[in-house]
């Protein structure tokens, strides 16, 4: 079974998820390249594959296991991973430039995060979708209850109606064509669920139980084919929009300074 507590499953590393994504990861928390993301972790780890309120106990246990260092370490040995700075010049000179890795580093350097989040809206590209859902979740976690990010969540909800287009080239490891066929449906479902987890996290932040447990509305569709699962997810989108808008209106945060036409 794959270790869910390594850097390739961490929100601080947005451009990778298991075997998909950029060849090299990048940690926003440590400002460091991740050359061994399937084998490294750190004290601050945050899971991609569960909404925050379901993962918190596991996060606490994980932090206890790695209390002695704030650095990136190898999971099995607790030895420090070498810190590596990103150099765009190096990647161009070595013909290894990765646009996804580059976009994440640009996001990290930018003082204005919102425009970057908006730039990833409704992409059918699976890696950009993983980046967007990860950055959005991290953003709303940092804002907490001080800022109502309902606009970002409505965007996540509408994106559920967009099919992701997964190619064999999107994998960061070498796989055979028959392996790709076997893995494709699983990863398409997983990438969609990453968006839903962001919506659930917003529900946790705003104390909205309808949104916290919205995945229950899929009624076992996860066990169905990709086509049936996607159909169920599409039907979920307007329900999510209604819950988000109704709760934001009750809080008085839904476009408070604008009149509704």
| Tens-digit pLDDT string for the chain (261 aa) | 689 999 999 999 999 999 999 999 999 999 999 999 999 999 999 999 999 999 999 999 999 999 877 899 999 999 999 999 999 999 999 999 999 999 999 999 988 887 778 776 667 899 999 999 999 999 999 999 999 999 999 999 999 999 899 999 999 999 999 999 889 999 999 999 999 999 999 999 999 999 999 999 998 898 899 999 999 999 999 999 999 999 999 999 999 876 554
Do residues 39 and 6 lie in contact, with contact meaning Cβ atoms separated by under 8 Å?
Answer: yes
DSSP string of 131-156, one letter each residue: HHHHHHHHHHHHHGGGS--HHHHHHH
pLDDT at 70 (0 to 100): 81
Residues 233, 109: Cα–Cα separation, whole Å = 34
pLDDT at 261 (0 to 100): 46
Do residues 25 and 8 lie in contact, with contact meaning Cβ atoms separated by under 8 Å?
Answer: yes
CA nearest neighbour of 230 among 149, 163, 170, 138: 163
At residue 249, what are phi and psi to the nearest 5 degrees?
-65, -40
Lookup: tokens for 94: 């070595």
pLDDT at 66 (0 to 100): 92
Instruction: Report which DSSP code applies to 257.
Output: T
Do residues 42 and 3 lie in contact, with contact meaning Cβ atoms separated by under 8 Å?
Answer: no
At residue 80, what are phi and psi to the nearest 5 degrees?
-65, 135
Lookup: tokens for 41: 């972790």
């Amino acid at each position: 079974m794959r270790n869910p507590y390594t850097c390739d499953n961490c929100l601080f590393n947005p451009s990778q998820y298991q075997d998909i994504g950029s060849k090299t990861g990048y940690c926003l928390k440590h400002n460091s390249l991740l050359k061994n993301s399937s084998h490294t972790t750190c004290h601050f780890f945050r899971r991609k594959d569960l909404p925050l309120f379901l993962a918190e106990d596991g996060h606490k246990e994980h932090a206890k296991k790695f209390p002695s260092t704030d650095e990136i370490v190898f999971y099995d040995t607790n030895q420090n991973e070498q810190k590596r700075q990103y150099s765009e010049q190096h990647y161009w000179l070595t013909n290894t430039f990765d646009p996804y890795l580059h976009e994440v580093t640009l996001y990290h350097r930018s003082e204005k995060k919102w425009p970057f989040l908006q730039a990833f809206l409704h992409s059918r590209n699976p890696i950009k979708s993983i980046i967007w859902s990860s950055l959005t979740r991290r953003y709303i976690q940092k804002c907490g209850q001080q800022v109502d990010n309902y606009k970002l969540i409505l965007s996540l909800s509408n994106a559920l109606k967009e099919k992701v287009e997964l190619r064999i080239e999107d994998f960061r490891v070498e796989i055979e064509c028959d392996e790709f066929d076997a893995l494709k449906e699983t990863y398409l479902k997983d990438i969609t669920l990453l968006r839903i987890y962001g919506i659930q996290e917003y529900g946790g932040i705003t104390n909205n139980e309808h949104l916290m447990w919205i995945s229950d509305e899929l009624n076992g569709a996860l066990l169905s084919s990709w086509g049936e699962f996607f159909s169920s997810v599409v039907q979920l989108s307007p329900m999510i929009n209604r819950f988000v808008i109704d709760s934001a209106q009750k809080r008085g945060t839904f476009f408070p300074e604008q009149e509704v036409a």
